[in-house]
Amino acid sequence: MILWNNYRPLSEDFLKQHHDLVLYDVFHQVVGLLLYPLHCGCESTPCQCNLLREKINFSLNLDLYNSLEATHVKEIHEDSKFLIGAQVLLNIPQESFFQKNYSKAYPSWLIEKNFNEEEKNFKPVDQLTWALLRLCKTYQLSFLRETRTSISESLEVIFGNTPVKTKRHKNLQDSHGGEHFYKRQFKHYKSVCHFIAALQFMKKAKEDREPVLFSWDQADRIERFLSLSDWFKQKLLLLQTPNAKKKDVFLPEEILPLPSWVIAHDIDIRIEPFAKKLEEINAPYVEHLNAKCA
């Protein structure tokens, strides 16, 4: 399945010359996928999610093109070759009426508003994604030396394993959204959880100095975002469940790939183990060793 715009008809030199525009086009597609993920479970018939993703991509591309046309870029490229290239890459139509009116179907201000509203859904996905990675690291550093993790055990680390009817459990459910909420959100956003983790990482590291719909002169931040997304994708695809078959937590088709030219370069993120969980896993082995040495 090809999810990104197909640039094959364009020459390699042309794509290198317009690399920043390619970055923006890909990022705009990611925005659509974050707001309307694949495997949406949409109850409406027919599902409108794909159409909405296309409208988001077009609206953001059109806003980008209009900003380029209105700035000094036009003055620098007097022969307008750059803007012609932008039209081709961003799929901007020639009809002036269409250019001015089509984006009203899903304007960027509404996209940003919806994105801000999705924060409450992104946070539990990010937290569970990190819990899966940290739990795997915990088992790797334990006496078991295994690459294993699971959603249920990760949720246990997040919420604790207190009895369902206790007051503490109820308070945790109320304050964090509840285990069922986490499971539901993770299932809904599973295909794009690596994008969510990358975006939240940039927020926590204060790398997102501007709104998520980056301005046209900040392509380096989009490149950083895509590299982080690829790093998270690679780590998530290594996760395995503790059952006998060693089933992967993420099948390759369950997590969206990135364009082949995206590389997780210069990414060095430390994954910390869960200290208490590590102590709990090692406890029987430590006890056994102590007994032997006694």
- Using a cut of 0.75, tell me whether the model's pTM lies above it: yes
Buried b (16+ CB within 10 A) or exposed e, 106-144: bebeebeeebeeeeebbbbbbbbbbbbbbbbbbbbebee
pLDDT tens for the chain, 294 residues long, are 456 766 767 787 888 888 999 999 999 999 999 999 987 777 666 788 888 999 999 999 988 988 888 875 555 555 577 888 888 888 888 766 666 666 667 888 899 899 989 888 999 999 999 999 999 999 999 999 988 999 999 999 999 876 555 555 555 554 457 899 999 999 999 999 999 999 999 988 876 555 567 776 788 999 999 999 999 999 999 999 887 666 889 989 999 999 988 988 889 899 999 999 999 999 888 776 776 776
Closest CA to 199 of 12, 85, 33: 33
Question: Which are the contacts of 165, defined by CB distance < 8 A and separation ≥ 6?
Answer: none
Return d(Cα 181, Cα 179) in angstroms, integer.
Answer: 5
Return d(Cα 233, Cα 249) in angstroms, integer.
Answer: 12
Query: Looking at residue 174, what is its pLDDT?
Result: 47
Helix (H, G, I), strand (E, B) or coil at 97: helix
Return d(Cα 83, Cα 216) in angstroms, integer.
Answer: 13
Return d(Cα 4, Cα 89) in angstroms, integer.
Answer: 12
DSSP per residue, 107-174: -HHHHHHHHHHTHHHHHHHHHHHHHHHHHHHHHHHSTT------HHHHHHHHH----TTSHHHHHHHH
Query: Looking at residue 284, what is its pLDDT?
Result: 84
Return d(Cα 199, Cα 137) in angstroms, integer.
Answer: 22
CA 141, 143, 145, 148 torsion: positive or negative? negative
Return d(Cα 266, Cα 263) in angstroms, integer.
Answer: 9
Query: Looking at residue 286, what is its pLDDT?
Result: 75
Query: Looking at residue 123, what is its pLDDT?
Result: 93
Cβ contact 224:230 at 8 Å: no
